[in-house]
Amino acid sequence: MKKLAQVDVGWTLFLDRDGVINERIFGGYILDYTDFRFKEGVLESSKELFGKFARVIVVTNQQCVAKGLISEVELAVLHEKMLSDFQNEGATIDRVYAALELKDSAPFMRKPHPMMAELAKQEFPEIDFAKSIMVGDTDSDVRFGKNLGMKTVLIRSEEKTSVVPDLELKRLDELIDFI
């Protein structure tokens, strides 16, 4: 089995949210934590997987805020509940960055733009994008990672993709076998 990278505690794991951490609602949005469903194996493997990295950062496009479907505060509460569930498993996510604007509108926080990664590097200067892995389920996630020089992992879903990642997996917990 070919390893994606020889990860040590100097590495950073960047994760998309919908479709990687939780079940994605195609054609809709997670607007309440009662609709938030962790993908199979994510919580159970999180302590082992996240423990291999210096930092774990979530980068998520959430245009539902700009559409007025959920407030910024409600999204923050949803993320706090998600972080709490990970904490209960002994796993830590260092920060969640959410792009709240509509597609193609300023300030261009949305992936594949690098802004969320740049904000993470400002907050955590030790982040080295060459020693980072981006895991997502869309072309914009993979482009985000590739544009920054990260290793890229695509979690397969019904989403049609054309950008070739470094590794394709069915589930996030499978990544443990490749690092």
Residue 18 CB contacts under 8 Å (≥ 6 apart), including other chains: 24, 25, 30, 60, 137
Q: What tokens does 151 get?
A: 């290793």
Q: Do residues 89 and 43 touch, judged by C-beta distance below 8 A? A: yes
Determine the angle formed by the axes of helices 72-88 and 42-50, rounding to 10 degrees: 80
Q: What tokens does 137 get?
A: 């389920």
What is the number of other CB atoms lying within 10 angstroms of the CB of residue 40?
13
Establish whether 16 is a catalytic residue. yes
Rounded to an integer, what is the distance from CA 122 to the centroid of its chain? 18
Q: Do residues 102 and 63 touch, judged by C-beta distance below 8 A? A: yes
Catalytic residue among 8, 16, 104, 177: 16
Establish whether 139 is a catalytic residue. no
Residues forming the active site: 16, 18
